Amino acid sequence: MIGQTISHYRILEKLGEGGMGMVYKAQDLKLDRPVAIKLLSAAAKENKERFVQEARIAAGLNHPNILNVYDIDEQEGKLFFVSEFISGETQRTRLVNLKSGDGVVLQQAIDWTLQVASGLKAAHEKDIVHRDIKPENIMLTRDGLLKIMDFGIARLKRGADSSDTDALSGTLAYMSPEQVQGLVEDLRTDIWSLWAWCFTRCSPVSCLSGPSMRQPGFT
């Protein structure tokens, strides 16, 4: 893909890879600015609906702490969406750095938590539950702004009588008890993940690290 042009975006480099496909840095040749392109992989074609939903949900949220989605398109059978490019690092990288001895300033931990809480509030006000708040899905820009990304398993808040078909999507260390058990989830599931993330950031150990965490099939 590197060096190819898809629509009016020239693919420059790979930024990440996940369940649904690849994320690339690209140059928007019309507006002459860097962007990020998330491309649905051929292997994940059955997730097309969810992919489109991810783009729509993020595009419908206009908040400084949520990744800005610009466009979605399909070219030559390749479905992709375009978002702002974050020149920074994910919180996972920063977490590793902290554990290797940098320490964490409490004031910074509070600031980061409030930023993510602010982004989540905007989503929750539209009844959107993210369901996968974890370090890999939060990027830190060079200006110190945190951006929530990856609404891939997000959904609208459900009524008490709705059934659950993907209760075990997510990352176990940050999942709320109701999410793990496949019970009805609401906005509180994100608040649990936020505090699990906050604890993990301020402490050298994960808040959940017992033997059940090492069961196969969980990430």
Ligand X SMILES: Nc1ncnc2c1ncn2[C@@H]1O[C@H](COP(=O)(O)OP(=O)(O)O)[C@@H](O)[C@H]1O
Q: How far apart are CA 66 and CA 106, in angstroms?
A: 23
Residue 52 found at the interface with ligand X (CB under 6 A) = no
How many residues of this chain bind ligand X (CB under 6 A)? 19
Residue 23 found at the interface with ligand X (CB under 6 A) = yes
Rounded least distance, CB 103 to Mg ion, Å: 27
The only residue of 26, 50, 94, 136 in contact with ligand X, by rule CB under 6 A: 136
Phi and psi angles of residue 125, each rounded to the nearest 5 degrees, phi first: -65, -20
User: Per the residue annotation, which of 102, 127, 132, 164 is the catalytic one?
Assistant: 132
The only residue of 51, 80, 81, 85 in contact with ligand X, by rule CB under 6 A: 85
How many residues of this chain bind Mg ion (CB under 5 A)? 3
Residue 196 found at the interface with ligand X (CB under 6 A) = no
Q: How far apart are CA 21 and CA 18, in angstroms?
A: 6
Active-site residue, 186 included: no
Q: Using an 8 Å Cβ cutoff, are 84 and 62 in contact?
A: no
What order of strands is seen across the sheet that includes strand 78-84?
5-6, 9-17, 21-28, 33-40, 78-84, 69-75
Rounded least distance, CB 30 to Mg ion, Å: 28
